[in-house]
A = this chain, B = another copy of it.
Amino acid sequence: MIKSFEKPILTVDVAYLSIHNAQLEILTIRRQNEPFKGQLALPGGYVHCDQDTDLRDTARRVIAEKTQLEPDYIEQVETVASNTRDPRGWTATVLFMALVSQSKRDNEESLGSGCQWHKLDSIQSNELCFDHAVLLEKVKERLIAKSRYTSIPLFLLPNKFSLSEAQQFFEITTLSGLEKKSFRRRLLDAEIVEDTGELSKTGRRKASLYQIKPGVGVHFFPRMIG
């Protein structure tokens, strides 16, 4: 005989990160319903068994309904679950990390209602409801770790960027200073970016502008970057 069990609640939460004014920022949403009505949360929502065919669908729906901001890169980080993290009962949330490029960030037209970017350093853990401060820590750890051996920080850059900007973004995400020559050699050796032939309009010296090669996904560097 197969016993029937109380089923847990399953949700998806999406931690959006971007870099703005050389600082990491996180997208929060002000909760419109109880519990924690009026407080800040990561955008998220329930799995809808009748609508979603899989978790990607749920994430897509949450993104469309809550933020209207399609990220430039998304990956599943971890599933966090317990009987105490949500007053509504036993819940599991599948946590996603979403990276938003500076170009998209600068051209935000219709960010979802109640959505707001915050400096990651200035947000206090008690401002976030549920265990979202813990989720955010997990996402930060993943970003730092993965920025050391993959090319994912490229997805945070503007569409066209100088090698100095690329280095600056990797320094922000890896939390470490990088040696200029070695960083450039490794990025160019990876053959994942290409010179656009254009020059930057700012700065004392005009720098060549690069872009991610069309169709290139995440690259794994043979040696740690930072």
Residues in chain A within 8 A of chain B (CB atoms): 2, 5-10, 33, 46-50, 52-55, 76, 78-84, 89-90, 92, 94, 145, 149, 220, 222-224
Chain B residues with CB below 8 A from A8, complex form: 7, 10, 47, 49
List, sorted by A's number, 9 A–B pairs whose CB atoms are closer than 8 Å. Answer: A5-B47, A5-B49, A7-B49, A8-B47, A10-B92, A47-B81, A53-B84, A76-B79, A79-B79
Query: Least Cβ distance of A49 to chain B in Å?
Result: 4
The answer to whether A90 touches B5 (Cβ under 8 A) is: no
The answer to whether B90 touches A92 (Cβ under 8 A) is: no
Which residue of B has the minimal Cβ distance to A226? Answer: B222
Chain B residues with CB below 8 A from A90, complex form: 47, 49
- Tallying the copies of this chain within the complex gives 2
Of all A-B residue pairs in the complex, the 3 with the closest CB atoms, nearest first, are A49-B90, A7-B7, A54-B82
Chain B residues with CB below 8 A from A50, complex form: 5-6
Chain B residues with CB below 8 A from A220, complex form: 145, 224
